[in-house]
Amino acid sequence: MLRRPVEYGQYTAISYTEKLAIDGIAPSIGSVGDAFDNALMETINGLYKAECIRTTVFHDGAFKTLADVEYATAGWIDWYNHRRLHGSLGMVAPAEFEATYYAALDREPLPA
């Protein structure tokens, strides 16, 4: 008798949803068929391909090994987070903006 393979994805989704509920976190998942679920990831993938993979800014020449891709990717991520100027952040790099934000927070003194 042939049996269907077990669909583990549905159990993972149920466990994930239950864990979010326990922690009081609202999932960022849209309804079936909308474009919001993957919009951020698709944007990052597009930027990664355009800025890292399809240029030679973060690597020299064609990729020959997986290590070449990993090295270029690490360089792109470092640039993306630490040196890329972001228009919606006042033309400062994300890391600089974050550091300034946290430095400006009014922190309560730690108990002695």
pTM > 0.75: yes or no: no
Q: What is the pLDDT of residues 38-62, one digit of tens each?
A: 777 788 899 999 999 999 999 999 9
Q: Using one digit for the tens of pLDDT, what is the confidence trace for 17-41?
A: 788 889 888 766 655 555 555 777 7
Secondary structure of residue 39 in the 3-state scheme: helix
Average pLDDT, the chain: 82
**CA gap 10, 13 in Å, rounded:** 5
Residues 89 and 97: beta-carbon distance below 8 Å: yes
In a 13 Å sphere around the CA of 7, the CA atoms on its Cβ side amount to 5
Mean pLDDT of 63-83: 95
